[in-house]
Homo-oligomer: A and B are copies of this chain.
């Protein structure tokens, strides 16, 4: 896996359909972030049927159609949202526009599946909560750095099986390649992307809540900075955050845009999960200078010894099939709405209360 930046990270897995063609129909609305391809791949592999695509930018639509020739181009957002067959609207809008789109989709009776981060303000989160309460529809989030990474999924299973005892602390490292030239203007505008802790920090918080089994938590410290990008003063190129969960577990994560040019992929993402009886380190996308290609490396150390496990090909991406069934059956097996919203809330709080460490 050699990709130029995280924006084009769209893993393909083994098809594991949970429904027959036509039983679960989704449409793609707003293609501002390349994650829409990862979302679409995963829903298709899980058996979803792609109906419409809509984006005001014709070039983006053309690229999408080239990738998924079966898709119909909607003439307007309304056409996609108003379609009777469609169960779910999948969207990767500009971050600040994700919630308004979601509210429209839910008002139209659809479940909504958005790229992360799902919100840029707490007011948006509140309005989404109200809409969920009102309509019973789902506002689900593509937290790809866990849901679309087999190393992270297998690590979750290992924790459930007790391999490291009781989880007490989770550390996440989410460096990303900046690739300034290839980024759209909104990526650098704070109001639109929401800040680094809101944006790529949201992955980290979701992972913490999942691995630690926490349903509630509070941000105890957070910091942001712009160390090396004075040409984009609204960009945070660094952020970190400390969280304490309601059960007493702790989290620290660091996110940054400093992936060096010489790294063989877009970011050396890692997660360390410390338990009372052992720990797991996930080297998600690369095991630097190891001679072992690819990602999904799990390192497990516990009472039995030290172990390296290549998780590639072991788990697939069960979230997406579960999500389809959750939509059809009105269950919450893939992810609870409360979990998706709690991660979002914490990343907004982390961003809002962050200490600025650079001038």
* A interface residues with partner B (beta carbon < 8 Å): 164, 166, 168-169, 171, 173, 175, 220-221, 223, 225, 227-228, 238, 240, 242, 244, 248, 250, 252, 254, 256, 258, 260-264, 268, 272, 274-279, 281, 286, 288-290, 299-308, 355, 357-359
Contact = CB atoms under 8 A, between A and B. Distances in A.
Given A168-B238, A256-B274, 6 more contacts: A166-B227, A171-B254, A175-B279, A261-B302, A262-B304, A288-B301
**Could you say which of A175, A276, A289 has the most chain B C-beta atoms within 10 Å of its C-beta?**
A289
Nearest to A228: B276
A274 B254 CA distance: 11
A346 to B, nearest CB: 16
A290 B306 CA distance: 9
Given A221-B221, A289-B306, A260 B278 contact: yes
A276 to B, nearest CB: 5
B302 A262 contact: yes
B288 A262 contact: no
Contacts of A238: 168-169, 250
A310 to B, nearest CB: 11
A239 to B, nearest CB: 10
Contact of A290 (B164, B244, B290): B290
A247 to B, nearest CB: 10
A263 B301 contact: yes
Contacts of A304: 262
Given A168-B227, A256-B274, A220 B355 contact: yes
A219 B212 CA distance: 26
Contacts of A276: 227-228, 258
A294 to B, nearest CB: 14
A288 B300 CA distance: 9
A355 B262 contact: no
Contacts of A274: 175, 256, 258
B307 A289 contact: yes
Contacts of A305: 262, 264
B302 A260 contact: yes
Contact of A223 (B250, B256, B302): B250
A220 B359 CA distance: 17
A244 B289 CA distance: 31
